[in-house]
Amino acid sequence: MADVTKTPASKGGWSTGTRVLVGIIVLVVVIAVLAVFTLTIAVLDSKAGTEFPYTTTYHVTLPDGQPVTIGNSHILVTSFNNELIADVDGTKDNLTVGQQKVLSPRHAQITVIGLPVLDTDFQITLTYQGSTGDNANFDMTVRTSNQIPEYVISRLIPPSMNAQPE
């Protein structure tokens, strides 16, 4: 008689299709995590004549007497009563409540995993709203030449500014 060996119909493992699907999902998750952690924004001077049709507004506070960097603009504010001295990139201005300070336009190049994803020009306008304790309060308007996600804009704003979208 011939020796007959039985083979199991199922080994209890995943099918090839399931393995491929899980592999794709893992790959997408790894790429997404890498994208979040490698997102960089390089800020350069902007070319003249750029239009800024997209606007995002925040309420921010600048700590009195402590330097803050937005993009590559360095800002230092000192308040006294309802007057403020704003030093932006070495240019000093006295501001009273309601006055605006317009920062020079800049160009931002956003890269993910070292690859350029988005280029945009942007301009920031700060409107002084008065002081509270050790902070100067501002409404900050960020105008951009291209529509970009709020997440990217928030990466330009340092945490010390306590930015709250309006």
Among 112, 116, 122, residue whose Cα is nearest residue 148 = 122
pTM: 0.73
**Residue 102, pLDDT score:** 92
Is residue 9 scored above 60 in pLDDT?
no
Is residue 3 scored above 60 in pLDDT?
no
Whether 35 and 112 have beta carbons less than 8 Å apart is answered as: yes
What is the mean predicted confidence (pLDDT) over 9-23? Answer: 81
Is residue 42 scored above 90 in pLDDT?
no
**Residue 127, pLDDT score:** 95
Band (pLDDT 50/70/90 cuts) for residue 37 is: confident
Whether 86 and 103 have beta carbons less than 8 Å apart is answered as: no
Band (pLDDT 50/70/90 cuts) for residue 24 is: very high
Distances (CA, A) of 91 to 8, 62, 116, 124: 80, 17, 32, 15
Is residue 76 scored above 90 in pLDDT?
yes
Residue 154, SS3 per DSSP = helix
> What percent of the chain is predicted at pLDDT more than 90?
42
Higher pLDDT, 56 or 114: 56
**Residue 166, pLDDT score:** 83
Q: Judging by DSSP bridges, how do beta strands 40-45 and 83-88 pair with one another?
A: unpaired
**Residue 40, pLDDT score:** 77
The neighbour count for residue 77, using CB atoms within 10 Å, is 25
